[in-house]
C-alpha cells in the first residue's frame, strides 16, 4: 500500500472519529510496557517506535486529558469530543525510560498504576515465567512433577507459547502457589533481570514530570482469590506506600488483571471505595459515558502495528463498543 493511500484512508478514518465526537464518550487506553524493540517473548507489548506513532496520532486527532479532568468533565457534561485518557499498569521501568520522553514530546498526560511491592528490584510472577523460559536452552520444560505438563520450548515461538500457556494455567491460583511455579522456573535460569520494574527514584521522577500515579495493590494479586481483609490490606498498604513516597494523594485505583467477576468480585468494589479512592478502573473493554459505574470504568488496548488499524479499532470501539 502506498504512503499516499495510507494517508488518504487515515484522513477518512479520522473524519469518522470527528463525526462521532458529539456522542460524548471517553476512551481510556491501557498500556503495560513500552519495549526498546519488539520482543519475541512479549509479542503483545508495544515498542518505542510504535508507541511514538500512536502518541503522535492521539495528539493530532484526539483530546488527551488527565483522568481527573476527564471524570470531572463527564460529571458536569463538559467532556470535549474525541476525549481520551492514557493509562499504564504495573510500574515497569520502561514506562519512565521509553514512554515518558515520548509523552513529554507530545505534551500528553497519563496515569500510571503502580504495584508498589515490586519497586526497586522486584519482579512480578508472570515476568519470572517469561524471563526464566527466555534463558532456557533445553528443548522442553517439564513441569509434570508440579502438576502441569511438559512444554516444547525448542524454538523462540514455542518458548513464547509455553510462557503464555503456563501463565494462563497458574494465573488464578492462590498467590503463594502461583509463586512456587514462577520461582521454580526462575531457579532453572542462569540469570534473571532485577531491573524490569521502576525504582522509587524513577517513580518520583515520573510524578515530578506531571504524570498522575494510581494504586494497583502491593503484590498484584487476583483479588477474587483473597479474603476481604487481605484485599483491604493490599489496597491500603499500596496507597500509603505511594502517598508516603510521593507526598501526594493517590486518587485512582486499577484492579489487578481487571476483569469483573473473574479477577475481582462485585462485593470487593465497596472495599476499594472504603479505602478512600475517588474512582476505579477495570480492564473490561468499552468506552466511558456519564452513567457508567465510576468504580468499574472500562478500558481497552487498541493495539495494532499499523496506524490505520489502530485508528479503526478506536472508531469501532467508539461506534459499536467492541474492538
Ligand atoms: Zn496489572
Q: What is the pLDDT of residue 89?
A: 98
> Average pLDDT of 207-215?
98
List of domains in the chain:
3-121+212-320 (3.20.20.370), 125-188 (no CATH)
Percent of the chain with pLDDT over 70: 91
C-alpha 293 – ligand 1 centre gap (Å): 20
What is the per-residue pLDDT across 104-159, written as a single tens digit (0 to 9) for each?
999 999 999 999 999 999 999 999 999 999 999 999 999 999 999 999 999 999 99
Q: What are the backbone dihedrals phi and psi of residue 26, each rounded to the nearest 5 degrees, phi first?
A: -110, 130
Cα-to-centroid distance, 89 and ligand 1 (Å): 5
Tell me the CA–centroid distance for residue 220 and ligand 1, in Å.
6
Question: How many angstroms is it from 232 CA to the middle of ligand 1?
Answer: 17
Per-residue confidence (pLDDT) for residue 305, from 0 to 100: 73
Angle at 264 between CA 202 and CA 129, to 5 degrees: 55
pLDDT class of 17 with cuts at 50, 70, 90: low
CA of 45 from ligand 1 middle (Å) equals 13
In 3-state terms, what secondary structure has residue 269? helix
Per-residue model confidence (pLDDT) at position 306: 76
pLDDT in tens, 212-258: 999 999 999 999 999 999 999 999 999 999 999 999 999 999 999 99
What is the CA(122)–ligand 1 centre distance, in A?
A: 14
Choice among 178-192, 226-240, 290-304 with the minimum mean pLDDT: 290-304
Distance 167 CA to ligand 1 centre (A): 14
Residue among 318, 302, 322 nearest 16 (CA): 318
Assign 22 a pLDDT band (cuts: 50, 70, 90).
low
From 217, 303, 301, 229, select the one nearest 263 (Cα to Cα).
Answer: 217
| Distance of CA 149 from the midpoint of ligand 1 (Å) | 26
Q: What separation in Å is there between the alpha carbon of 48 and the centre of ligand 1?
A: 20
**Ligand 1 center to 141 CA (angstroms):** 26
Which cell goes with 279? 474512582
What confidence tier does 42 reach under pLDDT thresholds 50, 70, 90? very high
Greatest pairwise CA separation for the chain in angstroms: 59
* C-alpha of residue 262 to centroid of ligand 1, in Å: 14
Spacing, Cα 231 to ligand 1 middle (Å): 15
Amino acid at each position: 500500500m502506498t504512503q499516499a493511500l495510507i494517508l488518504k484512508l487515515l484522513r477518512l478514518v479520522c473524519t469518522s472519529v470527528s463525526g462521532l465526537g458529539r456522542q460524548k464518550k471517553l476512551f481510556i487506553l491501557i498500556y503495560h510496557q513500552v519495549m526498546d524493540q519488539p520482543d519475541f517473548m512479549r509479542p503483545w507489548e508495544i515498542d518505542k517506535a510504535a508507541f511514538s506513532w500512536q502518541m503522535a496520532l492521539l495528539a493530532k486527532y484526539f483530546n488527551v486529558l488527565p483522568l481527573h479532568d476527564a471524570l470531572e468533565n463527564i460529571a458536569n457534561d463538559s467532556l470535549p469530543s474525541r476525549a481520551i485518557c492514557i493509562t499504564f499498569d504495573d510500574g515497569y521501568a520502561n514506562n519512565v525510560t521509553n514512554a515518558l520522553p515520548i509523552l513529554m514530546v507530545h505534551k500528553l498526560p497519563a496515569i500510571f498504576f503502580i504495584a508498589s511491592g515490586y519497586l526497586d528490584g522486584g519482579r512480578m510472577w508472570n515476568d519470572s515465567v517469561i524471563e526464566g523460559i527466555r534463558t532456557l536452552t533445553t528443548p522442553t520444560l517439564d513441569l509434570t512433577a508440579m502438576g502441569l505438563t511438559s512444554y516444547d520450548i525448542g524454538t523462540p515461538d514455542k518458548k513464547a507459547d509455553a510462557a503464555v500457556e503456563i501463565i494462563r494455567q497458574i494465573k488464578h491460583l492462590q498467590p503463594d502457589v502461583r509463586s512456587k511455579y514462577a520461582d521454580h522456573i526462575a531457579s532453572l535460569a542462569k540469570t534473571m533481570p532485577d531491573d524490569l520494574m521502576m525504582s522509587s527514584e524513577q517513580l518520583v521522577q515520573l510524578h515530578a514530570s506531571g504524570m498522575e500515579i494510581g494504586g494497583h495493590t502491593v503484590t498484584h494479586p487476583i483479588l477474587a482469590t483473597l479474603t476481604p481483609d487481605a484485599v483491604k490490606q493490599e489496597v491500603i498498604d499500596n496507597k500509603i506506600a505511594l502517598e508516603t513516597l510521593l507526598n501526594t494523594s493517590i486518587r485512582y485505583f486499577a484492579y489487578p488483571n481487571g476483569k469483573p467477576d473473574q479477577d475481582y468480585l462485585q462485593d470487593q468494589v465497596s472495599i476499594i471505595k472504603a479505602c478512600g479512592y475517588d474512582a476505579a478502573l477495570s480492564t473490561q473493554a468499552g468506552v466511558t459515558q456519564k452513567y457508567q459505574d465510576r468504580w468499574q470504568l472500562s478500558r481497552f488496548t487498541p493495539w495494532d502495528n499499523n496506524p490505520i488499524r489502530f485508528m479503526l479499532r478506536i472508531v469501532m470501539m467508539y461506534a459499536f463498543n467492541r474492538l
